[in-house]
Structure 1
Amino acid sequence: MESPLINLALLEALKSEKFSDEIDLFLPFIAVTILELGMPTVQASDIQSKLGELFGFRPPISAIRVLMTRAKNKTLLIRENHAYIPCAEKIHEWSNGYSKKKEDLEVSLGSLKNAFVEFTSERFQKDLTLPEAESLIFQFIEENVSATVSRRAYSKAELENSIKNTNHIIASFISHIHKKEPVLLEHFGRCVKGMLLANYLYFADKRTTKKTFEKISVYLDSPLVIGLLGFNGPLNKQANEEFVDLLLSLKIKVCIFDKTLEEIERLLSAWKNDISRKSFGRFNTKTLELLRSQGYDEARLDTEIKTLHRTIENKGISVIIGFAAKERFQCDEGALEQAIAENFKKDKNLEHDTVCISRIHNMREGRYIRELSENFSVFVTRNTGLAKFANGFFSRNNYSSPIPVVVSEQWMTIMFWLKNPDITSKLATDQVVATAYSLLYTDDKFWEAFLDRLDSIKKRGDISEEDFVLVRWDSDLLRMVQDVSVEVGDDFSEEDVFDIVDGIKRKYLLDSKQAMADLERQQAEEIQRLQILAQAELTSEREARDAARAEKDSIVLRHKALENRVRKFSRFVARCVSTPICLTLIAFLIIASIQSLPAGVLPQLLQDPELLERFKLSAATISITFITTAIWGISSWVFGLDVKKLNRLMEDWLTNRVLALFMGKPGI
């Protein structure tokens, strides 16, 4: 196959946008295949072979016949005398721009492959050819999307042992484009959806046109529920939520057995106990990091355990308590456990998987389940190996079914992803991205080989206890181990181990320097902030003082203006009082003086009897007048008390009185 990625992407790009059901999606492939055949009549076997040549997958003849029947109904084919004759006009119409789309995909997927080659060279110092890059990407998609167990359309990538951990390289690349290259992730997503379409024709029930499936009961495996609860990271949680939402939207009953609830409770209890004892040896490194980052402690995990049942049910999942097995249909659980044990490590407890799978088999009562419209239960797991060995056991014991007892998450996605496009538009890509991240965080054989070598070095005393603790629980250790495993596989030398230890110590040294620099920067920023704040306060105080001074000056000016007005008024009043008094005293003094003179001395004018009688003063008045004049004169001589000074005193007294009266009013 010249370019498997382009063929996969074409499956996605060519599918019809308008369709009555899923089968219509494949008519463009049939149209292109018939067009490329260039034969006057076509048979199912011809189309099957050409599909394999053009798109890299060979659906069963039964699926081809269904597609040909639909093509006949859409007038792409005309049937005469048991032969199918292509209708050229309809064939061109349904080919859906095959040549142009192929050219566009060659460009976009070329950029994806080139980016992978550059990433591998920069990150891992490994050189890949474009065919090797394409082969690795395709292999990863096939292994994590395809549900075919025995059949592969393409051979696996062969890199001549130059890369010992290809999964880590491709998973790192997917993580990279997910974070930083959304356009490349879109190109990658087309290939993922193309693989789903290719698998759909192998597995999907093409006779069922239903849009809801109330008769189906899906029982989830523990890891799916744990991921749904968020304990495998946000990406895994998102993919699992989309998966469950798809099932629920199709009215499929989503359940777990009480054994599954118990297993999850035991896992959370083990985490709680290990955290309370500060014993972290059994933890997956990334699980421990996730729990710490999200603030999980003993108390919070205890709360999670107590509310676990309700939490699961709130996600639309029913918890089935108890099970009454029908003895007639009960399988040999001991033999079943031995069969699935081939897929696990020797110390793995298989009670949960054995009991759950046995119950599903018992519920089927030996019925042969052929179509999705039937009433049946199925156990869904992420572990494709578990599905393979469990279904193999039942096949050897005279029970097999087109819809097996145990299916993978991929199988369920293939079966139902086209039933609700609104929900599943991102499901396939999100599942593969979540798988990539899980591979980055998985404790695998490379990790175990490294820990064995690290423990042996510690026992010899070649690494201190302080350095061991520093390295063993570092959040970047797993990534660094996997990076090295790309070159050495699981054959870690002591030099490799010391390089990793030194790398982590350098990281802590750099982190410490960065922390010090950050602290100094924060202190400088704080000092600058305080200086700016102090300057602002000083400016504010200065402005306040200036405003107060201006207000004070304004008040003083208003006070002076008022005082001037009041003083003028007081001066006027004082003069109005003193002037008549002085004039009266002077008049009395003159009259008294005239009366005291002898009659012959007075001028003729003043000797008029009537006039003298009119201005005649009494002796008392004359006496008072002279006494007052005398006192005034003495006071003026001794104290300088003259009329002017009395005027000023009266003016000041009256001014102070009036001002005192006004000063109590606001605004004065």
Structure 2
Amino acid sequence: MIRGVPSKAPTHRRAITGLATVALLKTNYDEGRDHISMFMPFVLDAVASLERDDFDVEDVRNVLFARHRLSVPDATLRTLLQRAVHQGAVKREFRRYFRQPGALHHADITSARARVESEHGRLAGELRTFAEAKGRAIADDEAALALLLGFLADNEIAMLLDEAAPDEGARHEALTARDTRLIARFINDVCLPDRQLGACLGRMLEGLVLQNALLLRDIATAPRRFGDLCVYLDTGFLLRALGFEGEAAQVATREGLDLLLETNARFAVFDKTVDEIKRILALYEHTLGTAQGRESLRPTAVTRHFLTQRYATSDVRQARALVQKQLGQLGIDIRPIPPHDRRYTRDEADLTRRLQAPGFADTDPIEPRVQHDVDCVAAVLTSRGARSPDSLDHARAIFATTSSGVVQTVNEWWRAGGEVGLSPIIHYIVLSNAAWLKKPGAATDLKLRELVALCTAALRPSATAWQRFLRHLRKLEDSGELSTDEAVAVVASGLTDKLLSEVEEDDGLDASTLNEVVERVKATYRADADKRIAQVEAGAASEAERRRQVELKVSAIADFGARWLARLVFVPVFVVIVVGSFTGVPLAFPGLGSLTKVVTWAAALVVSLLTVFLLYHDPVKGWHQSLEMRLRRALRARLLGEGQDHRVLEREAPSGQDGSG
């Protein structure tokens, strides 16, 4: 039995190895393997690499971690080894395992790993080039991938542990705030627009979630739909779902809701949470109307959304009035907080103290947000009753939030009370991961959309930077260098976020760089204004030409109609003349012969035509033209609208005097 296998991967290969493993996991899953068998190629590779034919679970676990950075719980590893026994790759005798000669000659996955690592090498190279342009030198590909892995792992919160993974497996590069923004900008500006890099990143993300399947209490339950789970949603999550934190967050959140529905979860929200949302919107309703009010707002995602989207007080008032209707459209049921039952709740006073801000005095009133969270946790425990679920599948009720701090505090309080089973609170990303593991095909882009929302949030300037920027704007206003309207426009510009974040990354928050931010935003506004003016002028010219063409076409139709209507009016007169000539002339010469009759009829025809011609071109001509003009004016007024016909008639007066045509 081997005892000398190191428990750690070489430090210079940890990130490369770890990311290659999660990408291979995604490949295995896509090939149709289930949540357990997708780990089988790694187990067989580890068994094949052992120095001896006989081994136990601990030997395989150590080699798995050394070769693939996989921390597999013993229970799951025994299940995998039992499957290997059924496949004939190993056999078990006297509580030990033995390799079967010749059964593992295809178990080596070195070539597959090399292909993945080559793809990741390109990603690392792009990151190093991007970072160098930003003034951040990254030593090698391992360091670049370590930063990337740290960013992704920081936001893939571990699931419900059955047994603790080795500390080495949980460690990754600790990112500074500057590095976090660097990676977020790299993902946003370089990876996502590139189809190959974006696909590579997507496989990493989904592989990390698949790797988390190892942390489930019972991995066999991973593909099953939730049996009895009602998710009570927190304020932050609902603000995203309602679109108050921007489009990226809304798209990811709503796709997550769709996935939870596909996996048989139910949604609800406590009435106190709805009241809290309305209180938040009421705050914006009363502060967005004045410059002083806008400056007093904390630079949260909701604040930036309302400002950059030019929300007026009336817009927020309307949004507040529609909250309940929109929640209903999302399929979220609004329920009252159940009656408090001390048989099922825990030490709420202790939880309140833990959730309060540091330095909070016991004599001070409890903050509304803290009271809300305590009430929601107590309501979930009351809904569960005497049950103590150990997994999400039959949890009955759970409170889902986007606040990592609240989740951590409640979980610490839960464990400190000696409780067992599932905590009453869960982070939304954990819930999303659990649902995605059950039905990945129902949300193929969910993890990538969540990453986009995460990068958007990471690229916002910090609260400290915003406060400093606002103070700088006030100084410019006081000195007269900036008008109040200009200051409002700068604060409301979406470009301000991007520029301020870039300046903060470069540690350049001084008066000079802040002035540059203001000037660049103002220049953008001027360019946008010039562009809009040009567009309006071009649109006006195009509209004028279009109207002219329409008027000409309608005028032609009116002229044609007026001409023929005027002619039709005189048709009865012409008919009377012709008929009279043909009946009167022959009667005046009754005794003429047949040849003479022909001549007489011809004379009648000539007389009638001459009469019509003389009438039409002499006394009747003026009447005809006058009638035609009146008909033309009436038709144009009817077709073009009142007031339009006079302009057309004036412009085309010569054409109106062309006679009968």
**What range is the shorter-chain TM-score in?**
0.7 to 0.9
- Answer with 342-351 or 328-337: which moved more: 342-351
The correspondence of residues 380-459 of structure 1 with structure 2, limited to 5 A, is 380-401=400-421, 403-441=422-460, 444-455=463-474
CA shift, 1:510, in A, is 2.8
Change in 2 beyond 3 A, CA 1:186/1:294 = same
State percent identity of aligned pairs. 21
Once residues 96 and 30 of structure 2 are traced to their aligned partners in structure 1, the CA distance between those partners, rounded to angstroms, is 26
The correspondence of residues 88-127 of structure 1 with structure 2, limited to 5 A, is 91=104, 98-121=109-132, 124=134, 126-127=136-137
CA shift, 1:294, in A, is 6.7
2:144 to 127, 133, 136: 133
- Answer with 134-143 or 417-426: which moved more: 417-426
Deviations 1:88-141 (A, max 9, x none): 66645676xx3443233233323323333444455x454445444322221110
2:502 to 472, 478, 483: 483
8 A contact 1:172–1:436 mirrored in 2: yes
8 A contact 2:340–2:378 mirrored in 1: no
Once residues 465 and 297 of structure 1 are traced to their aligned partners in structure 2, the CA distance between those partners, rounded to angstroms, is 17
1:316 to 321, 324, 331: 331
- Answer with 362-371 or 210-219: which moved more: 362-371
CA shift, 1:233, in A, is 2.3
Once residues 287 and 394 of structure 2 are traced to their aligned partners in structure 1, the CA distance between those partners, rounded to angstroms, is 46
Change in 2 beyond 3 A, CA 1:577/1:419 = same
Change in 2 beyond 3 A, CA 1:579/1:8 = closer
Once residues 46 and 74 of structure 2 are traced to their aligned partners in structure 1, the CA distance between those partners, rounded to angstroms, is 15
CA shift, 1:64, in A, is 2.0
CA shift, 1:404, in A, is 2.3
Deviations 1:429-471 (A, max 9, x none): 2222221122234653433343345546656777654553343
8 A contact 2:307–2:491 mirrored in 1: no
CA shift, 1:505, in A, is 2.2
Deviations 1:591-629 (A, max 9, x none): xxxxxxxxxxxxxxxxxxxxxxxxxxxxxxxxxxxxxxx
**Equivalent AA in structure 2 for residue 102 of structure 1:** R
Change in 2 beyond 3 A, CA 1:287/1:226 = closer
**Equivalent AA in structure 2 for residue 268 of structure 1:** L
8 A contact 1:146–1:199 mirrored in 2: no
Give 3-state SS (helix, strand or coil) of 2:449's partner.
helix
- Answer with 4-13 or 443-452: which moved more: 443-452
Change in 2 beyond 3 A, CA 1:453/1:91 = farther
Once residues 212 and 526 of structure 2 are traced to their aligned partners in structure 1, the CA distance between those partners, rounded to angstroms, is 51
1:339 to 328, 349, 354: 354
Give 3-state SS (helix, strand or coil) of 1:476's partner.
helix
**Equivalent AA in structure 1 for residue 279 of structure 2:** R
> Partner of 2:375 in structure 1?
355
**Equivalent AA in structure 2 for residue 421 of structure 1:** P
Once residues 325 and 379 of structure 1 are traced to their aligned partners in structure 2, the CA distance between those partners, rounded to angstroms, is 16
Once residues 603 and 526 of structure 2 are traced to their aligned partners in structure 1, the CA distance between those partners, rounded to angstroms, is 85
Are 1:5 and 2:16 matched, yes or no?
A: no
Once residues 481 and 237 of structure 1 are traced to their aligned partners in structure 2, the CA distance between those partners, rounded to angstroms, is 24
8 A contact 2:232–2:267 mirrored in 1: yes
CA shift, 1:336, in A, is 0.9
CA shift, 1:484, in A, is 0.5
8 A contact 2:222–2:434 mirrored in 1: no
**Equivalent AA in structure 2 for residue 655 of structure 1:** V
Deviations 1:218-258 (A, max 9, x none): 22221112212222223322222232223222323322222
Change in 2 beyond 3 A, CA 1:468/1:414 = closer
The correspondence of residues 614-653 of structure 1 with structure 2, limited to 5 A, is 652-653=603-604
Once residues 136 and 348 of structure 1 are traced to their aligned partners in structure 2, the CA distance between those partners, rounded to angstroms, is 38
Q: CA RMSD in A?
A: 4.6
8 A contact 2:36–2:80 mirrored in 1: yes
8 A contact 2:192–2:198 mirrored in 1: no
Give 3-state SS (helix, strand or coil) of 1:140's partner.
helix
8 A contact 2:338–2:383 mirrored in 1: no
Give 3-state SS (helix, strand or coil) of 2:369's partner.
coil
Change in 2 beyond 3 A, CA 1:317/1:578 = closer
Change in 2 beyond 3 A, CA 1:22/1:462 = same
* Corresponding pairs, count: 577
Give 3-state SS (helix, strand or coil) of 1:328's partner.
coil
CA shift, 1:191, in A, is 0.8
Change in 2 beyond 3 A, CA 1:141/1:88 = farther
Change in 2 beyond 3 A, CA 1:261/1:527 = closer
CA shift, 1:479, in A, is 1.6
**Equivalent AA in structure 2 for residue 18 of structure 1:** G
Change in 2 beyond 3 A, CA 1:544/1:357 = same
8 A contact 1:178–1:433 mirrored in 2: no
Q: Normalized against structure 2, the TM-score is what?
A: 0.73
Change in 2 beyond 3 A, CA 1:523/1:459 = closer
Once residues 343 and 459 of structure 1 are traced to their aligned partners in structure 2, the CA distance between those partners, rounded to angstroms, is 36
**Equivalent AA in structure 2 for residue 153 of structure 1:** G
Q: Which runs of 5+ in 2 are unaligned?
A: 1-13, 362-366, 568-577, 579-585, 617-661
CA shift, 1:188, in A, is 0.4
The structure with the largest alpha-carbon Rg is 1
The correspondence of residues 541-556 of structure 1 with structure 2, limited to 5 A, is none
1:505 to 510, 518, 522: 522
Once residues 363 and 575 of structure 1 are traced to their aligned partners in structure 2, the CA distance between those partners, rounded to angstroms, is 119
